[in-house]
Amino acid sequence: MVRVISQETYDEAVNENIEVFSMSPEEAIQETVKQFESQGVDLSNVIKDLIITQDHDLILTYLEQLRTAMTKKHYERIPQILDKLTIELDKDIARRVYAGKQGCYGVLLNIMKNCEYDTLILRSTLKTITSLMTGNPDLLDDKGVSIQMEILDKQRDKLVLQCLLRWIRECCIKHEANRQNIFNAHIFKRLKKILTRDDATASEVRDACSVLRALVLDDDIRHEYGKAHEHATVIARGALDVLTGLLSKFKNEKAVMGDIMITLASLIVRNEFCQDVTDAGGLKFVLDVIINYPDSEKLNWQALKLLKALAGNDNVKSQIVMAGSAPLIVSVISRFKKSESIVSAGLACISALTLRSSSNAGVFYDCGSVSIIIDAMKSYPKSINVLKQAAWTIRNMSVRNKMECHEFIGYGVEDILKSALTMHGPKLENDIKAALRDLGLKVELKERWTGKGAKLNSEADKQPVYE
């Protein structure tokens, strides 16, 4: 459990060092930070130099100015004050936490509620509340969700909607309760209206896609079980055809294509969804992207992520390889071998396509993937992700292709795998040992359970289980 303290406790400790030990403010801050960190206290939510900068006075001053402007209806002053407040909030999480404790969230909601038709004020307020809640999403409540939906329903200003969608996305990151509350407020049908509008701009589509992806995250460690799969299923059933159609509409805009592809990849969580996207032309489009944009690292990474997602369906998996994807994937890894993210995504793609498919594995053997996989492991000996994906790929390509797998051995894969095992130990132990086993190489397996229970009656029951 991480230990935290309040701003007040920290300030008292600094003042005590100044008064009792006659330290200068700078020395007191340094000593206080050292003391708390030695005790395992997380100070990320504390403004460490507050006693010197007096930034809390600025934040309090701006909040008071906003309250006064609202009371006296001096609305013309609000955007300028909000800009200054945003600058302070963007400095660090500690200032955002402090501002939240001083009622900043309620002040900003009040401005949005009372100035809902003033687009200039609304845009400024949305930017400020996004800054306030970046890394600090706990502030969102039912009133905030209600205001979000009202703005989505009433506003047509594209800049306002852009700012709003960015705020909503920030509320969803690492906060499962917010995701569920926003999803239950029927945001999906509102986002779908944006995506299906004939005049939807590239920026609107990208921001809407970013919210869709945020709604299917599973990144809140405070919740053991989230609803990412349920959200993805609902969204996929209602939007896969729309998103696939948008690929063609924005085929000349790389940023939009990439966002749509990565969004589709996050939504394909069921077997039938892979087939739906493929039938709608998604597979052909992705392969065309790899062919037509050979120099775009990000776009190729996004295309590989979508290919891997589509490979979740065994029929589609065969279609992907039959469509000529294998040499394209190997080529992408080779071209961008200096990009760890591309190499990792490419290996994951090969692993998914060769899982339970000896014929697909044979195709990858034929197009020179073995040397590419070996080179990747040599190039990234410290990367857990690359080594893990490589181990899985080797397993899937070897387990049903015993003759071809000797090619890996010829390239010295045994020494590379054992070196990775020595360097990373338990983090990769199961993956690397499984790869060595399926290659037919010598490997020491641990007895996970020896079967010494009292209820075992036969010798067969007592056989050890290995991993």
Query: Tell me: the pLDDT tens digits for 360-391?
Result: 999 999 999 999 999 999 999 999 999 999 99
Measured distance CA(434)–CA(440) in Å, rounded: 10
* Among 349, 299, 347, 281, residue whose Cα is nearest residue 321: 349
Q: CB under 8 Å to 73, separation ≥6 — which residues?
A: none
Contact 431, 389 (CB under 8 A): no
Count of CB atoms situated within 10 Å of the CB of 303: 30
Measured distance CA(190)–CA(207) in Å, rounded: 13
Beta bridge partners, 3, equal: 41
Q: What is the pLDDT of residue 379?
A: 97
Q: Find the radius of gyration of the CA atoms of the chain.
A: 27
Measured distance CA(441)–CA(421) in Å, rounded: 14
Q: What is the pLDDT of residue 462?
A: 46
Measured distance CA(92)–CA(295) in Å, rounded: 36
Look up the pTM and report it: 0.86
Q: What is the pLDDT of residue 44?
A: 76
User: Pairing relation of β-strands 447-449 and 465-466?
Assistant: antiparallel
Q: What is the pLDDT of residue 20?
A: 74
Q: What is the pLDDT of residue 47?
A: 78
Interior angle at CA 162, CA 185 and CA 102, nearest 5:
70
Q: What is the pLDDT of residues 436-460, one digit of tens each?
A: 999 999 887 776 666 665 555 554 4
pLDDT band at 34 (very low <50, low <70, confident <90, very high): confident
Alpha-carbon separation of residue 416 from 16, 377, 382 (angstroms):
57, 7, 12
Taken in order 180, 181, 183, 186, the sign of the CA dihedral is: positive
Alpha-carbon separation of residue 98 from 48, 129, 133, 174, 415 (angstroms):
12, 14, 12, 20, 54
Contact 290, 303 (CB under 8 A): yes
Q: Report, as an integer, the average pLDDT of 184-212.
A: 95
Q: CB under 8 Å to 458, separation ≥6 — which residues?
A: none
Taken in order 285, 290, 295, 297, the sign of the CA dihedral is: positive
- Say what percent of the chain tops pLDDT 70: 94
SS3 content of the chain, % helix, strand, coil (to 5): 70, 0, 25
DSSP assignment string, 183-196: HHTTHHHHHHHHHH
Length in residues, the chain:
467
Q: CB under 8 Å to 115, separation ≥6 — which residues?
A: 75, 78, 121, 122, 125
Instruction: Give me 72's structure tokens.
Output: 């006296």
Q: Running DSSP on this structure, what letter comes out for residue 40?
A: T
Count of CB atoms situated within 10 Å of the CB of 119: 16
* Among 131, 117, 116, residue whose Cα is nearest residue 166: 131
* Maximal C-alpha separation, the chain: 87
